[in-house]
Structure 1
Amino acid sequence: MNIQKGIDRAKLDEKIPMMPWYVQQFIDYKLPDLSPSTLLEYVRDYETFFNWLRAEGLSQSEDNGHILLEELETLRMESVTGYRLYLTTRREGTNSRITVSRKLSSLRSLFHYLSQIAEDENFYPLLKRNIMAKIENKRIHKPKDTAAKLKGKILEEEELIEFISFIHEGYAEDVANNKQALYAHGLNKERDACIASLILNSGLRVSEVVNLNIDDLDLPNKMLHVFRKGNNDETFKTPVYFRNQAKDDLEHYINLRQSRYHVPKREKALFVAIRNGQKEGTRMTKRAIQAMIIKYAKRFGKPFLTVHKLRHSFATDYYLQNDIYKTKEQLGHASTETTEVYAHLTDKTMSQAIERRNESTS
């Protein structure tokens, strides 16, 4: 099991005993098909919903673990409407439309299981009435809309190389009067540039970068073996290729990984950091990589740039030289529908279609 999945599985195991028995049964049913990370999000969504039910007096249970099926059966449409309003208007942690849609989708999955799949001892559905079946599943974000939001917030053309170069050298000039920042940069610039370069030359997700081990790297063939999102086979790693520039940056980093970070033999992580108070390097966290990219992005003059937008930057650049199917495979998307974002970002397919029309009428 990869690192992040292991962490999420442990958190899931902690939360499950605090859920009603039927939620535990639902999670067991879904466990072979969904990752611990996805199921953890489900449980967190149910936690929010059950807390709201009790706060509104729609359940008389003293805790979430004892909320009754009968209390779910008697919910009315006005209750669901009230919950949606709560999610969008609460003072703390207001949710976006996309997040609200996801939380409602989690509930639909649970209610569908209870009303259509799970059975009691008499072979009747556990839930006799499914209020969530009345809630329309609206598609919130279309590829074209996502592309519009990304315009101007990703790296394009020469900027991909310029950003990596900035991490290597430009940042030091920017923080020349800050001794602490300058020291930290001198210690980590090769590693940081390597991470940015790898994402910008392969399109890896940040979770995939975090999970990389030194043995996953095949430098001569410019290839990595990666645990890809959505693949629940814990024994299989997908081969993912990277461009030549990333090879140079990886070689540079690998040559100093041991001497710079004092990595113990037991530590297999490719990307490591020495934490405060520690003497040996350990695997970098997802949060550390995200914060690192944001730090450089602000100084680079791209405050909207995030680690995930580096992936978008690669994908847009890659799509310009390849078709949608190759882009889908390189990024590890489940369907081409997700990859369509890059068609809209480049306007490649539309401009080609217009040219073909002009040629046919000339």
Structure 2
Amino acid sequence: MLPQMPDYVQEYMRSKRRAKYSPSSLLGYVHEYLKFFNWLLSEGVADYKDIKSIPYSVLETLSKETVELYREHIENEDIRTEKEKTKSPPAPVRRRSKDAVDRNINALKSLFSYLTTETENEDGECYFYRNVFSKIKQRKEQETASRRAAKISSKVIKSNEISDFIQYLKFDYEKVLEATSAKMYKAYLKQKERDVAMISLLLGSGIRVSELASLTLQDINFHTREIDIIRKGNKEDTVLVLQAALEELKAYLRVRQERFNTKESDIYVFVSKYKGMVQPLSVRSIQTLVSKYTKEFYDQNEFSTGKGLSPHKMRHSFANDWILQGGDIITLRDQLGHSSIETTSKYTNLSRDEGKKIIEKMEENRNK
């Protein structure tokens, strides 16, 4: 995707690569920049034939009002696919979540900060100094702790459902496919161990989807029941993992080479095969799979909402279970990799009171 970007965006990406930003984070940034530059072209703010041709002088002269209009656009844009819009009846209108809007604005803040403070032209000066995005403040949602907790509780896999969900993926889902689609049944059998391990790891560690996508084979320590991950801001960390999730991971790794024809150079744990090439499973692919499987699981219930859950809800599910098993907020903060205890405090209204003891308690409870 980078060749579509202006030279200064490519330079920014090289800078972040050198700073060891994860590939999944950088891919996410490129997707956010595509939205922004396409909007500049479609609105006539930048009168150029394509994104690559847009000079940084356009960014230098953007008004605060224009940037506010852009934010309103991404907040209010209907993000349904053409298929969703044209099917009968059409799917309900979908807007971006506040988190998705914040991700976009933060990605642009990072780009503008780089261009106005870290670049250097032939005269030793930054490309430009006027950073319009420094004037854009993120909007904070106002809600009580109990309201936050209620929202989280309504969007998690409950502790007593987690084992049922994993068992459904291991044994029941393929029976549904076998009865309905031979092609989908065959495809699922090929990737089943991978997908079960992937979801088990999300639910058994509380890591972010980007951290899962970036996980390499050398990051796993089965002996200590820990994995090494790269957090936001390129921070290295080590987290505990439920033994049950590690067992599913072992089952996948036993068949990984056979199913995906991997080589020693394929270092990422979760991979796919596309046009004969092995590649890391992308964040977007993981999000799609998690949403699909949770929707199928809950669709067995006549009161299903018809919606799947996101990988971030897997993270909420882990945190919810941790607190309900007596885990304290400090160790949960460390497990989730939050930089502030305030971020973790949103889980305290779920219940309340130390690392491996809590992991073992959760393990015991799920296997009753």
Q: TM-score, normalised by structure 2?
A: 0.68
Structure 1: 5+ residue stretches without partners: 1-10, 350-362
Match of 2:308 among 292, 304, 309: 304
Report the Cα offset of residue 247 of structure 1: 3.5
Match of 1:334 among 336, 339, 359: 339
Note if contact 2:200-2:245 (Cα within 8 Å) is conserved in structure 1: yes
Q: How does 1:59-74 map to 2 (within 5 A)?
A: 59=46
Aligned to 2:198: 195
Report the residue type matching 1:298 in the other structure.
K
Q: TM-score, normalised by structure 1?
A: 0.68
Report the residue type matching 1:178 in the other structure.
T
- Deviation track 1:285-314 (CA, whole Å, cap 9, x = no partner) reads 444444433333223116432333222211
Report the Cα offset of residue 119 of structure 1: 7.8
> Are 1:244 and 2:247 an aligned pair?
no
Q: How does 1:146-295 map to 2 (within 5 A)?
A: 147-178=149-180, 180=182, 181-224=184-227, 226-230=228-232, 232=234, 238-258=237-257, 263-272=262-271, 275=273, 284-295=281-292
- Deviation track 1:164-212 (CA, whole Å, cap 9, x = no partner) reads 1111222244445235244444444444333322222222333333343
Partners of 2:283 and 2:213 lie apart in 1 by: 6
Report the residue type matching 2:289 in the other structure.
M
Partners of 1:255 and 1:28 lie apart in 2 by: 36
> Are 1:82 and 2:87 an aligned pair?
no
Note if contact 1:290-1:307 (Cα within 8 Å) is conserved in structure 2: yes
Determine helix, strand or coil for the equivalent of 1:227: strand
Report the residue type matching 1:334 in the other structure.
S
From the superposition, tell whether residues 319 and 56 of structure 1 become closer, same or farther in structure 2 (CA, over 3 Å). Answer: same
Report the residue type matching 1:87 in the other structure.
I
Determine helix, strand or coil for the equivalent of 2:239: strand
Determine helix, strand or coil for the equivalent of 1:293: helix
Note if contact 2:117-2:129 (Cα within 8 Å) is conserved in structure 1: no
Report the Cα offset of residue 163 of structure 1: 0.9
Partners of 2:318 and 2:155 lie apart in 1 by: 13
From the superposition, tell whether residues 305 and 61 of structure 1 become closer, same or farther in structure 2 (CA, over 3 Å). Answer: closer
From the superposition, tell whether residues 46 and 264 of structure 1 become closer, same or farther in structure 2 (CA, over 3 Å). Answer: closer
Determine helix, strand or coil for the equivalent of 1:239: strand
Note if contact 1:199-1:205 (Cα within 8 Å) is conserved in structure 2: yes
Report the residue type matching 1:294 in the other structure.
S
Q: Count matched residues.
A: 328
Partners of 2:259 and 2:112 lie apart in 1 by: 53
Report the residue type matching 1:137 in the other structure.
Q
Report the residue type matching 2:290 in the other structure.
I
- Deviation track 1:73-124 (CA, whole Å, cap 9, x = no partner) reads 6554443443334334456676444444444444445555666776888898
Report the Cα offset of residue 162 of structure 1: 1.2
Give me the identity figure in percent. 32
Structure 2: 5+ residue stretches without partners: 81-94, 300-306, 354-368
Report the residue type matching 2:293 in the other structure.
Y
Partners of 1:327 and 1:48 lie apart in 2 by: 35
Could you say which structure has the larger radius of gyration?
1
Partners of 2:155 and 2:292 lie apart in 1 by: 15
- Deviation track 1:130-170 (CA, whole Å, cap 9, x = no partner) reads 54444333224879566444332211121111111111222
Report the residue type matching 1:157 in the other structure.
S
Partners of 2:20 and 2:259 lie apart in 1 by: 39
Note if contact 2:25-2:210 (Cα within 8 Å) is conserved in structure 1: no
From the superposition, tell whether residues 105 and 313 of structure 1 become closer, same or farther in structure 2 (CA, over 3 Å). Answer: closer
Alignment RMSD (CA, Å): 4.2
Note if contact 1:263-1:282 (Cα within 8 Å) is conserved in structure 2: no
Partners of 1:304 and 1:295 lie apart in 2 by: 6
Note if contact 1:147-1:341 (Cα within 8 Å) is conserved in structure 2: yes
Report the residue type matching 1:162 in the other structure.
D
Partners of 2:217 and 2:124 lie apart in 1 by: 52
Report the residue type matching 1:194 in the other structure.
A
